[in-house]
Each structure stands twice: as structure tokens, then as C-alpha cells.
A and B are shown apart, each in its own frame.
Chain A
Amino acid sequence: MRRDSGGIDGGFAAYVRDCGDHHLRVAVLLTGDWHAAEDLVQASLIKLYRAWPRLDTSADPDAYLRRIMVNTHRSWWRARWRRETPAAVLPESASGDDMADRQALGALVRQALVKLPRRQRAVLALRYCEDLPEAEVAELLGCSPGTVKVHAHRGLRALRELLGGEFDLHKVNQAQAPRREGR
């Protein structure tokens, strides 16, 4: 059974409205920048749109789009079409404003990720943002699950070194988390 193309205002548009932001979030971890992430997702959605009428209704469009994004990011990176230049100065965490603190931290994390090798970045994004199992990440990246494990280990270690105290602050053991007292 073939998926109904429905035109760009039909099923495909509904899919983009429902799921687009999720893939945008993964893309920003791959690219480090919201505008580059928007480019990546839109370029990938164009390719998915072209394939949309041929997709089986039982197929998972998320899986297709994820593969297209990973392949497109890899080809962009190889061709150096997009220069990923880390910011010269990382934003300092503001104090006294939770929202500003979180935004500053978010920017810090994205810019730290961009400093990692492309594959480590892809593994971290797919494992800890998409929550994909190692086997599925391996299949997407065309490597073995063992290689995924190695990239994840090295990526986390590099991230910890780059983020320093910010990383350790988030290593809160559940047992040490503050408990609410019942009333």
C-alpha cells in the first residue's frame, strides 16, 4: 500500500507540523546553530517530500527523515558547504534569571558539541536526544554497535572536559535529589 501524497498541504504538511520541531532539535545538536539546523531539516524534508508518495503507509517517516538528515549532514560536512565555526567567546551564565541561565547553558552545550568530531556528535545526538538504541544508531551511521559505544564514550568524555563544572552539576544522582516531604 502506498502512502497518499496528499500534496504538500495534506498528510505531509501535517507530518511537518507534528514532528518538525522534534527533528529540528536533533538537527541543532548536529549543527550547533539554529539557522544551520533549519537549513538541514528543510533540505531533508524536501527529499522526504519527493519520496512521500512512494512511502508505504506502514513505513515510519521519522526513520526515513532521520536517515536523510544524517546522510545530508555527512555530505555537507564532507563538502564543507557549511563552515561550523565555534564562537570565539562562549556566553557566560547570567545569574538571577532562570530563563536566561538556561538559554546561556543551552548555547554553551551546542557550541561545545560543535567542537566534537562529526561522528561523536551524531552518536551523542542520536543516543541521548533521540534515545535510539545502539543497534539503530549503528545502522544509521553505517558502523558497528561497538563503534557507536566507543564514539559515545569518547564524546561524553570530551563534552565533560569542555563543559567542566556545568557537566558535573548535572550529574545528580537520583538518591541525592531533594525529596518533597509529604503533607
Chain B
Amino acid sequence: MNDTEQAARRLFATAVEDIPPGIDLLRGVRARSRARTVRVRALISAGTAAVAAAAAAITLSAVQAPSALAQVTQAAARTAGQSYRISSSSTLVSAPGAGTAGQPLLTVSGEFDPNLRVGAVTSVDGFQVIYLDGWTYLPLISAFRAAYDKAHTVPVPAGKSWLRLRMPPPLGSGPADTTVFQLAGLGSTEANLEQFGPQDLLTLLESATSVREVGPASGPGWTGTAYAFSASLQLGGTLHLFLSTSGTVDVDQQGRVRQLDATETTGKTVEKVQMTFGDFGVRVSVSAPPASQTFTP
């Protein structure tokens, strides 16, 4: 470590040594775990002001209701920070040289815990994609195997029924090797493989720039508000692709995303997707496939 880094370490050590008296983390955790209602607390300290919100509902201030934009972006952030179950179906609108407009693409159900980075998505055809310990496990169904072998000099070895790839970084946080393009990197041109994951959609929603309230919304066990939105993200990396989505999002009274009806555009491919979120806080438990059956390129 050079002098500058050593200086930073010394300064940080000084910056963190004086924990104020009265902070009791365990007492706070006990109190929060008993709480059933949202509390809003204002903190003023040495010229610094912050407003804190916890758990379900949010009130930003006692004077002004949050804007539609704030409601949606905050709902997306809140939903993306906890475990949940999803069900999703998508249809192709248009894609260069592939498929027929209106062609159903993929119908899946799944569960995710973004904090533990574990999850699983299962299609109606029964194949399952698993996310665990920083890896994505893809079943080597014939379409995936054929796509991989076509794109690589060395094919998948015999006897392997799973492909293991590094889990991509959050959308927009790194080069364009996201979920969408990781599958494209298999060499597949199948539009039905290029799907935004739910965390990717929520990330896009957090970037929404245009939101307006359209009316009430409801579903099994919840009521809330529907909003029309549009959002886009320019990816870096080698692909420099432009991702955009627009549609409606339903937010429940606890400030969580419940349903997305959106049109996704990735480059020149346009798809419609309907995704519902529920069972927040679900315990997600997955297991890796047997190592003997797994191929890691």
C-alpha cells in the first residue's frame, strides 16, 4: 500500500473511532423486529438533516405528498431490497429476423432473495435456472446446448446436464454482460432467451424519468395505485446497447411493486412482459445441481 493509501487508512481509523454513547444495535434490532407500523423519524445533527423511513409505508414529509415519480422509484427500490416471488409471461412484438409478432416467448415463476443473491426461475416447460453463491446454473436443454456448441470451439462435454456461469452484475453497474446478454453470449439468437430478470426490471424502474398516476389498482389481497411510466438505460461495455421500457406499474399501499405490464426494447428487439410480485419476505432456499453434472466453461 502506498503513502496515500496508508494516509487514508489512518484518517478513516480516526473517523470511525468515536462511536457516540447510546448506540445499542441489538436493542434497535429488537425494537424494529417488534414494530408492525412504519415510523418516521427526523434527525438533526450539527447542521445535517435527514429523514428516515422504515418497513412498509413511506411518508416523506408532513407537508407534501410524494410525487408519482418518487412513489414508483421508491417502490422499485423497496421491492428490490427484499425477497419475493414472481410470475411472468412475455410475448414477442418484433425482432430482426426472428419469430412472429404475438409469439409467446416465456412463462416462468420464480423466487429471489437479492440480499443473499439466491433464487430460482422455473418455466412452464419445467426447466429451472438457479442462482446461488455468485453463479447462474442453466439446464442444458437442447436449445441451450445447441446454442453453446454452435458458438464455441469446444462443445459441452458429454454427461453434463448443467452449465454454470458467473452471475452477472446488477444491470447498468458494469459492462454489458448482464442477464440478458449472458444468454446471448451462449450464441443463442432465440429472442425468448433474452429476458430481463425481475431485479433488472426493478433497476430500470428506479431510473424512471416519466411517471404519472392513472388510477386505483388491486389484486388478490392488495390494493394500491397504478402508474404509467417510461424508463431507459444506456449500457456501457462493448455492446453499448440502449434498454428502454414503458408501461404501467401497480404499487400497493405498502409501497411495493405488485405488477408490471411493460414493453421492453433491447436494441431492435421489442417484447411485452407482464410480471407480478408477491410473497414478500419469502424464505428462498435453493441447492446447486450435482457438481459431477455441471460444466463450467
In chain A between 48 and 101, which residues have their CB closer than 8 angstroms to a CB of chain B?
Answer: 49-51, 54, 64, 67-68, 71-72, 75-76, 78-89, 91
Contact (A78, B47) CB under 8 Å given A46-B29, A49-B29, A143-B173: no
Flag if B18 contacts A54 (CB, 8 Å): no
Tell me whether B170 is interfacial, beta carbon within 8 Å.
Answer: yes
Query: CB-nearest residue of chain A relative to B255?
Result: A79
Of the four ranges (under 10, 10 to 19, 20 to 34, 35 or more), the interface on chain A belongs to 35 or more
A173 to B4, CA, bound (A): 10
How distant is A4 from chain B, measured CB to nearest CB, in Å? 16
Tell me whether A161 is interfacial, beta carbon within 8 Å.
Answer: no
Taking a contact as CB atoms closer than 8 A, the residue among B11, B70, B77 that contacts A163 in the complex is B11
Flag if A20 contacts B43 (CB, 8 Å): no
Flag if B52 contacts A33 (CB, 8 Å): no
A-B contact pairs, 20 of them (CB 8 A): A36-B52, A47-B115, A49-B33, A71-B81, A71-B115, A76-B77, A79-B74, A83-B50, A84-B48, A87-B47, A87-B48, A102-B14, A106-B15, A109-B12, A109-B14, A124-B8, A128-B8, A129-B12, A144-B174, A167-B7
A38 to B12, CA, bound (A): 17
A82 to B50, CA, bound (A): 5
Tell me whether A17 is interfacial, beta carbon within 8 Å.
Answer: yes
Flag if B19 contacts A85 (CB, 8 Å): no
Tell me whether A13 is interfacial, beta carbon within 8 Å.
Answer: yes
Question: For B8, what are the chain A residues with a Cβ–Cβ distance below 8 Å?
Answer: 124, 128, 156, 159
Question: For B159, what are the chain A residues with a Cβ–Cβ distance below 8 Å?
Answer: none
Question: For A87, what are the chain B residues with a Cβ–Cβ distance below 8 Å?
Answer: 46-48
B13-52: contact bitstring with A at CB < 8 Å (1 yes, 0 no)?
Answer: 1111111100101101110110000000001011111111
A39 to B29, CA, bound (A): 10
Flag if B50 contacts A51 (CB, 8 Å): no
Flag if A75 contacts B81 (CB, 8 Å): yes
- The interface of chain A, by Cβ under 8 A from chain B, is 8, 13, 16-17, 20-21, 24-26, 28-29, 32-36, 38-39, 41-43, 45-47, 49-51, 54, 64, 67-68, 71-72, 75-76, 78-89, 91, 102-103, 105-107, 109-110, 113, 124-125, 127-129, 139, 141-144, 147, 156, 159-160, 163, 166-168, 170-173
Flag if A25 contacts B174 (CB, 8 Å): no
- The interface of chain B, by Cβ under 8 A from chain A, is 3-20, 23, 25-26, 28-30, 32-33, 43, 45-54, 58, 70, 73-74, 77-78, 80-82, 113-117, 134, 169-170, 173-175, 206, 281, 283, 285
Q: Which 5 A-B pairs have the closest CB atoms?
A: A142-B169, A25-B16, A109-B15, A79-B77, A170-B7
Main secondary structure of the interface of A (DSSP, over half): helix
Contact (A20, B15) CB under 8 Å given A156-B5, A156-B8: no
Flag if A170 contacts B10 (CB, 8 Å): yes
Flag if B77 contacts A78 (CB, 8 Å): yes
Query: CB-nearest residue of chain B relative to A28?
Result: B16
Question: For A17, what are the chain B residues with a Cβ–Cβ distance below 8 Å?
Answer: 26
Please name 4 further chain A to chain B contacts, defined as beta carbons within 8 Å, in addition to the given A16-B26, A38-B25, sorted by A numbering: A33-B50, A35-B43, A39-B52, A49-B33
Contact (A105, B11) CB under 8 Å given A38-B28, A42-B25, A144-B174: yes
A81 to B52, CA, bound (A): 6
Flag if B113 contacts A51 (CB, 8 Å): yes
Flag if B15 contacts A28 (CB, 8 Å): yes
A143 to B237, CA, bound (A): 11
Question: For B81, what are the chain A residues with a Cβ–Cβ distance below 8 Å?
Answer: 71-72, 75
How distant is A109 from chain B, measured CB to nearest CB, in Å? 4
Question: For B48, what are the chain A residues with a Cβ–Cβ distance below 8 Å?
Answer: 32-33, 84-87
How distant is A144 from chain B, measured CB to nearest CB, in Å? 6
Flag if B51 contacts A82 (CB, 8 Å): yes
A25 to B29, CA, bound (A): 17
Question: For B29, what are the chain A residues with a Cβ–Cβ distance below 8 Å?
Answer: 8, 16, 42, 45-46, 49
Question: For A86, what are the chain B residues with a Cβ–Cβ distance below 8 Å?
Answer: 48
Contact (A35, B45) CB under 8 Å given A81-B52, A81-B58, A142-B169: yes
How distant is A26 from chain B, measured CB to nearest CB, in Å? 8
How distant is B174 from chain A, measured CB to nearest CB, in Å? 5
Query: CB-nearest residue of chain B relative to A127?
Result: B5
A42 to B34, CA, bound (A): 13
Question: For A129, what are the chain B residues with a Cβ–Cβ distance below 8 Å?
Answer: 9, 12-13, 16
Question: For A128, what are the chain B residues with a Cβ–Cβ distance below 8 Å?
Answer: 5, 8-9, 12
